[in-house]
Amino acid sequence: MVDAYEYYLKGSEEYDKEHYAEAISCFERSNEIEEHFKSYERLYSCLMHLGDTQKAFACIERAYQLNPRNDKTAFEYARMLAGSGDSISAQEVLAGIIQRDPSYKKAAALADSLRQKADNELLDK
Residues 63 and 3 in one domain: yes
**Alpha carbons 110 and 94: distance in angstroms, whole number:** 8
Long-range contacts of residues 98-106, Cβ cutoff 8 Å, at least 24 apart: 100/69, 100/71, 101/71, 104/71, 104/75, 106/75
CB 96 within 8 A of CB 125: no
**Alpha carbons 7 and 114: distance in angstroms, whole number:** 38
Over residues 7-53, the pLDDT tens digits come to: 999 999 999 999 999 999 999 999 999 999 999 999 999 999 999 99
**Alpha carbons 63 and 79: distance in angstroms, whole number:** 14
Nearest 5 degrees, angle CA 57-CA 59-CA 65? 105
The pTM score is: 0.93
Residues 7 and 61 in one domain: yes
Q: Domain of 113?
A: 68-125
Q: How far is C-alpha 35 from the chain's CA centre?
A: 15
Using alpha carbons only, how large is the chain's radius of gyration in Å?
A: 16
Determine whether 109 is exposed, middle or buried from the number of CB atoms within 10 Å of its CB (0-12, 13-18, 19+).
exposed
Residues 99 and 55 in one domain: no
Over residues 58-117, the pLDDT tens digits come to: 999 999 999 999 999 999 999 999 999 999 999 999 999 999 999 999 999 999 999 998
Residues 52 and 75 in one domain: no
Residues 15 and 31 in one domain: yes
Residues 62 and 74 in one domain: no
Residues 45 and 17 in one domain: yes
